[in-house]
Amino acid sequence: MKTSFVTLQQVEEITKTYPTPFHLYDEKGIRENARKLKEAFAWNKGFKEYFAVKATPNPYIINILREEGCGVDCSSLTELMLSESLGIKGEEIMFSSNVTPEEEYKKAYDLGAFINLDDYTHIQFLKETTGIPETIFCRYNPGGVFSLGTDIMDNPGESKYGFTKEQLIKGFKELKELGAKNFGIHSFLASNTVSNEYYPVLAKILFELAVEIKEQTGIAVKYINLSGGIGVPYRPEDKENDIKIIGEGVRAVFEEVLVPNGMKDVAIFTELGRFMLAPYGCLVTKAIHEKHIYKEYIGLDACAVDLMRPAMYGAYHHITVLGKENEPCDHKYDVTGSLCENNDKFAIDRMLPKIEKGDYLVIHDTGAHGYAMGYNYNGKLKSAELLLKEDGTVQMIRRAETPKDYFATFDFGDILKDMKY
């Protein structure tokens, strides 16, 4: 059973100031989780988590994680700008991008960020754009199918990302000739894995690659970035990852592969987003309509603009009806938003307690890739983001959009001069 970190009484108090829908984040949970990650990899003296800004691009959240020792993983110009505005620069930034425009490489270079190249052809492109920095990373794609035991986790061979092994080794030789002195490798082979085995298996692939690079090029890889991929249990029956076991699993492979090959000082990096934030955010919404036709429907004041994953991927997000946690789930509903798209459904054929208009619902695990993936279809406006602080108070960390925000990109002319706000 999933339990909400916010109660009905708290929501009733919050909505006196901030109307639903809104995303709510749990500061206490975020901080405790970040500390567990840091502790799990404390055996590696160079360890650092670079929070994937794409997951939750909010400066207040980023600052909380900075206070817990995290850097940032950026993938675009605006994410770099956001980080710069918070005083983050240099080796506190990992820039991992693909199909990268010139201006993004220039910005990352100017900030002194770690640059992670996604493709062999980008070596020449970066050389012509900024020159090659002393420290450089390259993203590895082993191809084929990635499996854990008998379970196929993902298909890197169909992924647009990364260098082949041959390209990477050739690329490192060229980068060294162009002046690079410090080298890192990076790989991302599967998303949202709910398995303690993923990181250790990925680590072994990358550690063995680092040894091979050293043997073939003489280059001693200094940094190994395990990227993201550690998932969260979206369904109540899913087993939660144990970050302590994961950290020890990586340590065992580190000592098995790298230490005997004279590479005991390699620093381990991660770029986690979902694991860092998803369980510590929720979408709070209200039931505003019901519909009784061939199925039973509950209509919410939130929609796919606020949480796209169920509509886009058919992703499961657990739903709690606040105040009815102990009531039987004996009603079957499609829980929907108001977009003119039939896939705007947070749940299909979901067994829930009887829902009445005015009930508050919590949609769980929206702290990552929730607000961030929102859009403005049908002219719907994105909701506010709020922070439930450790002392129990609530702080607005992003206001809700307004119609004026929506029409702002027409401010170059007077065609909407008669718009009434």
For the stretch 269-282, pLDDT in tens is: 999 999 999 999 99
The pLDDT, as a whole number, for residue 189 is: 86
The pLDDT, as a whole number, for residue 144 is: 73
DSSP character at residue 273? S
Burial degree of 378 (CB within 10 A; 0-12, 13-18, 19+): middle
Distance CA 222, CA 263 (A): 8
pTM score > 0.85 for this model?
A: yes
Helix H or strand E segment including 33 = helix 27-40
Distance CA 288, CA 325 (A): 19
The pLDDT, as a whole number, for residue 151 is: 59
The pLDDT, as a whole number, for residue 143 is: 84
Interior angle at CA 19, CA 17 and CA 20, nearest 5: 140
Reference 375, options 277, 304, 311, 318; nearest CA is: 304
The pLDDT, as a whole number, for residue 152 is: 52
Burial degree of 409 (CB within 10 A; 0-12, 13-18, 19+): exposed
Reference 367, options 17, 58, 20; nearest CA is: 58
52: left (phi over 0), alpha (psi -120 to 50) or beta: beta
Reference 23, options 319, 334, 396, 343; nearest CA is: 396
Q: Which residues of the chain have pLDDT under 70?
A: 147-154
Angle separating helix axes 243-253 and 27-40, nearest 10 degrees: 20
The pLDDT, as a whole number, for residue 153 is: 59
Which residues partner with 136 through β-bridges?
A: 115, 183
* Cβ-Cβ contacts under 8 Å for 174 (sequence gap 6 or more): 123
Distance CA 288, CA 157 (A): 46
| Domains with residue ranges and CATH for the chain | 27-278 (3.20.20.10), 279-410 (2.40.37.10)
What are the angstrom distances between the C-alpha of 43 and each of 210, 255, 266, 319, 322?
Answer: 19, 11, 12, 38, 42
What are the angstrom distances between the C-alpha of 200 and each of 148, 203, 230, 242?
Answer: 11, 5, 11, 13
What are the b/e assignments for 168-199, b being 16+ CB within 10 Å? bbbbbeebbeeebeebbbbbbbbebbebbbbb
Tokens representing residue 57 in the block: 């691009």
Give CA 229 to chain center in angstroms: 9
